[in-house]
Chains A and B, each alone.
Chain A
Amino acid sequence: MEKPATSAREHLDHADVTASPTAEAAIAALVDEYAGTLYRVAYSVLRNTADAEDAVQETYLRVLRHRDTLGEIREPRVWLVRIVWNVVLDRKRRSKTRPETDDVADLARLLPASGLSAEERAVSAQHHEHVLRAVEQLPAKEQRVLILSAFEELTSVEIAQVLGTTESTVRSRLFRARNLLSTLLGHSRSVR
């Protein structure tokens, strides 16, 4: 993503960020800098483009509502990811009745498979689908840590901040998630 001329951090470090024009400029800089990251975080959970975009917009609307406290934010990226994470989980909870089997198959077909033949693409999509179904079978806490760990922008400390827990808890959950995932994938291979 192209970096804006004035970063959001510089806007937030401004002396009087609570003043209306300054706060709006800071929010605009936050949109330019982090909207893509927030969208990808939202999409990794919701797996729907419209829902993910709605979640991003709702996140920035919440920021707009709390623009008086923008000056107190030290880590805007982690703060925004935490907001979008809560928005996404809230939406996921509300739309729990919707079947997700089609979402997984569609998502597996959407994943990039450049340089592969048509047959290899089909095999690759099937493999991704198996992995995503296995991820869905994980317990919620382990699943969340695993999804967030796939983002290169987030360290384990930042994942802990997003989830509101400690780094050691994140690491132990990630370890359990990997073990469970290996068991599930091995089981699916043996079944096939």
Chain B
Amino acid sequence: MTRNTENSNFANQFPHQAPDHQAVDLSASEAEHTLRLVAELPPPSELTERVHQRLSEARGLQPRPRLRPGFWSFWLPAQRLQFAGAALLVVAFAGSTWSVYHTRISKPASGRPVSSAPGGLIAPQSPGPNGGFGSAAADRRPSTLTPIKVPPVTRKKPSASHAANKPKAALTQSGLQTTPGQNAGSSPTEP
């Protein structure tokens, strides 16, 4: 083999670097002989079969696409139980609806006779004018509906002095002039 020739002649390629290349070559070839014996130890029988088996197991363990767990699968894992549960719910709903309908018709609240159709079918009673509800003669009138009587405001004619003070009062309201009672000493009009 070319590889062996290359290995065995390797020390001869660099004689200047080897102090005693014959001794090196001998020792190295002894060591390489041992390593080659190790490398040539036969593999165990049926190695390939075991590897094939392991690979097939690994392929089998690969995750498959799973269906999304539905509402039923949380508390009823078996499909038959899920079907039975669904049927039970449907029967219970239909039965309760029928029982409520039947009870209301057979026991009228107002005491009026149940009107029956000629074919044996029972027609539901029509409700009263207020949808079957009454006020029991109670009449509540809120107090806000009673008008509050307010006495009329009498208007006086303004006197002459009131007319003269009117612009002054307007100035006082706007804050430009102080009232005489508040700051009497500083008023320029005061003597």
Contact = CB atoms under 8 A, between A and B. Distances in A.
A40 B41 contact: yes
Given A35-B43, A36-B47, A156-B6, A150 B32 contact: yes
A52 B1 CA distance: 26
Contacts of A57: 50-51, 54
Which residue, of A131, A134, A153, has the highest number of chain B Cβ atoms within 10 A?
Answer: A131
A15 to B, nearest CB: 23
Contact of B44 (A53, A146, A155): A53
Interface stretch (A5-13, A25-33, A88-96): A25-33
Tell me whether chain B's interface is mostly helix, strand or loop, or mixed.
helix
B18 interface: yes
Interface stretch (B23-31, B119-127, B134-142, B168-176): B23-31
Contact of B7 (A24, A28, A107, A174): A174
Contacts of A28: 52, 55
Contacts of B39: 40-41, 44, 147, 150-152
On chain B, which size bracket covers the interface? 35 or more
Contacts of B37: 111-112, 128
Interface in A149-174: 149-156, 171, 174
Interface of A: 24, 27-28, 31-32, 35-36, 39-41, 43-44, 47, 49, 53, 56-57, 60-61, 64, 107, 110-112, 127-128, 131-132, 134-135, 146-147, 149-156, 171, 174-175, 178-179, 181-182, 185-186
Interface of B: 1-4, 6-7, 10-11, 14, 17-18, 23-28, 30-32, 34-44, 47-48, 50-52, 54-55, 58-59
